[in-house]
Amino acid sequence: MQERLEQIKKQLQSQQLKLTPQREATLQILLENQEKHLSAEDIFMLVKQRNPDIGLATVYRTLELLHDLRIIEKLSFGDGVSRYEFRSDDHPHHHHHLICLKCGEVSEIEDLLDDLEMRVEREHKFKIVDHRVNLLGYCESCQQEMKLKNM
């Protein structure tokens, strides 16, 4: 985690930007919660626990800066809330999302489209630079709950 923070600090410095305490606090929360897809408000609430003086606008600005620098990805799951996750250095689309329509749980699955991308590029002479796949449905827990209600 510290190594990733140092890498981001160097990336900021290369753009003549500083890793301010507010930016570092926001990054720490993102690093500690990498398996989650936190919204700006979620991040703000977690940062505020450690740094009570930080404002929501500061968190939003930090997230936008990190997004603009391609450090984090801004995700939309169709519910009107943007969520954030770190970009992969080696592959811009390294996984897809399973989104439960009932409870809102978001799970990740590995990228399954590499072969399809190569075929599309070859057959259509189209250079693909990114893609996003969100699969909507019901998680196992919600399926069980819905079965119980239908009995």
Domain ranges of the chain: 1-87, 91-151
**For position 56, what pLDDT does the model report?**
95
Structure tokens at 102: 């009932």
**Of 99, 97, 100, 95, residue with least CA distance to 111:** 95
Collapsing DSSP to helix, strand or coil, 74 comes out as: strand
Q: Are 114 and 131 spatial neighbours (Cβ–Cβ below 8 Å)?
A: no
pLDDT surpasses 90 at 122: yes
pLDDT surpasses 50 at 40: yes
* CATH assignment, 1-87: 1.10.10.10
pLDDT surpasses 80 at 143: yes
**For position 91, what pLDDT does the model report?**
47
Compute the average pLDDT of residues 54-79: 90
Which range scores top for mean pLDDT: 54-58, 67-71, 100-104?
A: 54-58
Question: Do 1-87 and 91-151 fold alike per CATH?
Answer: no
Compute the average pLDDT of residues 48-74: 93
CATH superfamily label, 91-151: Ferric-uptake regulator, C-terminal dimerisarion domain (3.30.1490.190)
Q: How would you classify the pairing of strands 134-137 and 95-100?
A: parallel
**For position 61, what pLDDT does the model report?**
96
Compute the average pLDDT of residues 56-80: 90
